[in-house]
Amino acid sequence: MKILYLCFDPSIDLAAETGGAVHVRGMIRAMRELGHEITVLGTCVSRPEWIESQTAARVIPCGITRLNRVLEKTIRKTNNVLHRPLRRYPDAVRLLHNGTFFNTAAKIVRRLSPEFIYERYSLWGIAGFTLAKRYRVPFALEVNAPLVYEQQRYRQKLAWPRLARWMECRVWQGANPVIVVSEPLHNHLIEAGVASEKIRVLPNAVDAAWFYRKRPAWLVWRRPLFSRVSSPTKRYGVIWRGWTWPWRLTHAWTISTTHHSSYSNTWPRGGLLWLATRDRFRKSSVIE
């Protein structure tokens, strides 16, 4: 199938080593391994050729326009004078970027004729939904967090929260399917008016190839990541570093070695991998 993958978020550089960027590349790579033809459109793409070499997908950058960057600098200077907290990519810049992103994506749709559009949901991003509706292309949306709620409660507050909530609900309700990463997020979307039958819960996972001793040819290491884990009797823990949103993490994650016998020499005996949250880690000095 021909799939157009959209990442509107200007704060996610698709070539970076941040969680969002790694997740995007992993999803694209998985789609390619299933035999699909993927074209990626992203706002922030510092090394498109490198991403193409890692994912075997075509990557097209759609950066912030010069006029929009002038607006961003003006807002920053104004906030600095007024002693307001500075935020990267202000709301106005993100909102106006929808026009540029939509026009670029529309050209791709007319040329590529994709079977469906897959988008990683981003704050203020409505271009993908508008594009799918305009050209009558099926629209799949991946939601990793309730971004408006997250921004308002835990970060710098939005300039126009009511407009942001309306746009978010409009995009959520217009997608089918809506892929979420947890049950709490599933419930949050239902409260926002999304039909339950549209929602698919697909928890975040790990690519087992990164832990496999006989690594694939495309996986190049500077040094073995778990070179000391050579015995099946040894155990290790994976600790989540950063914020522990209730809609992103579960407290424990079990991986069974019985699903794939070739991992028996790599995974710890019993195949139990604990993914501990910050609060639970504070209460325990040792995690097995």
**Tens of pLDDT, residues 133-185:** 999 999 999 999 999 999 998 888 899 999 999 999 999 999 999 999 999 99
What end-to-end distance do the CA atoms of the chain give, in Å? 43
**117 neighbors 137 (Cβ within 8 angstroms):** yes
For residue 78, what pLDDT band results from cuts at 50, 70 and 90? confident
- Both tokens assigned to 243: 């914020």
Mean pLDDT of the chain: 80
Place of tokens 């509107």: 8
Give the CB-side neighbour count of residue 254, counting CA atoms within 13 A: 4
User: Residues 241, 25, 119, 102: is their CA dihedral positive or negative?
Assistant: positive
What is the chain's length? 288
Per-residue pLDDT for 283 more than 80?
no
pLDDT bucket at 276, cuts 50 / 70 / 90: very low
What pLDDT is attached to residue 88? 77
- Give the residue-averaged pLDDT of 188-199: 96
> In the chain, pLDDT over 70 holds for what percent of residues?
72
Task: Read off the pLDDT of each residue in 98-103 and give the average, rounded to a whole number.
Answer: 97
Q: What is the b/e burial string over 232-261, where b = at least 16 CB atoms within 10 angstroms of the residue's CB?
A: beebeeeeeeeeebebbbeeebebebeeee
203-228 pLDDT, tens digit each? 877 776 666 655 555 444 444 444 44
pLDDT, mean of residues 272-286:
39
- Residue-range domain boundaries for the chain: 2-201, 213-288
How far is it, in rounded angstroms, from Cα 40 to Cα 1?
14
CB–CB of 6/117 below 8 Å? yes
Query: Is the four-CA dihedral 254, 258, 264, 270 of positive or negative sign?
Result: positive
Select the more confidently predicted residue: 113 or 286: 113
Mean pLDDT across the stretch 94-98? 96
Residues 168 and 121: their CA atoms lie apart, in Å, by 9
Q: Residue 4: pLDDT band by 50, 70, 90 thresholds?
A: very high
The yes-or-no verdict on residue 42 having pLDDT over 50 is yes
Residue 197: DSSP 8-state: G
* Whether pLDDT at 272 is above 70: no
**Contact status, residue 13 vs residue 90, Cβ threshold 8 Å:** no
Q: Are 40 and 5 in contact (CB under 8 A)?
A: yes
**Residue at token pair 């500075």:** 86
Q: How many angstroms separate the CA atoms of 255 and 77, rounded?
A: 50
Lowest mean pLDDT among 4-8, 87-91, 163-167: 87-91
State which fold the 2-201 domain adopts.
Rossmann fold (3.40.50)
Task: Show the DSSP H helices in 91-238 as ranges.
Answer: 91-112, 127-135, 147-154, 161-174, 183-191
What's the predicted TM-score (pTM) here? 0.77
Position 14 pLDDT exceeds 60: yes
What is the distance between the alpha carbons of residues 13 and 1, in angstroms, rounded to a whole number? Answer: 26
